[in-house]
Amino acid sequence: MRLGQLGGKAEIVLINIKNAEASASIANGTPVAFVYNGTDDGLAVVLPATAAGTKATSLFAGICEMPGGTTLIVGAIGKAIANGLALSVKITQTTRAATTDSWSTFAAIATGDIFTVDTVNNAMQRQTAGVVTGFLPFAIAGQSLGSGSGTASATSDTRTVQTGTIKMHIRAM
């Protein structure tokens, strides 16, 4: 674990992680969850979709932080931001059920909005603005992002999810 940065930069806590996915690389800025497999406990991580349900939240390890924005390949050791400022976190902005459906409008994100893990899209998703639960939130928007208006379906667009990245404060520890 590395505590802090030198040179007047924001304090962060980086932890070592190992990609325990069967075949998927983990992209920079993606949330990861610990997987307790009896071999690499406290080191092995998987994508939220693999962790599924409450494990993606209760075993949230942090945000994958790879140098130069690279990906963490299967079995490799990398880093995750467990506490502090993550500059580029993958978020889900809007989804649609089918590629023939129109994109719906999505709300603006304000600094301080609370995020949770999106286990379907391996990203973070915004909760209702200002919602505070009975525990300290572990992911908070560190910047604002404008809203988006709905658009009609286009035959060239085969996505069912629109993602983006924002700056976020992480508290996995």
Q: Summarize pLDDT for 125-164 with one digit per residue, the tens.
A: 988 666 556 566 788 888 888 888 777 777 678 888 888 8
User: In this structure, what token pair is assigned to residue 111?
Assistant: 């600094």
Q: In this predicted model, what pLDDT tens digit does every residue of 83-98 receive, in sequence order?
A: 999 999 999 988 888 8
71 pLDDT higher than 60: yes
Q: Are 120 and 49 in contact (CB under 8 A)?
A: yes
Measured between alpha carbons, how far is 154 from 72 in angstroms, rounded to an integer? 33
Cα-flanking dihedrals φ and ψ of residue 68, to 5°?
A: 70, 15
Measured between alpha carbons, how far is 170 from 173 in angstroms, rounded to an integer? 9
pLDDT mean over 21-33:
96
Measured between alpha carbons, how far is 77 from 102 in angstroms, rounded to an integer? 40
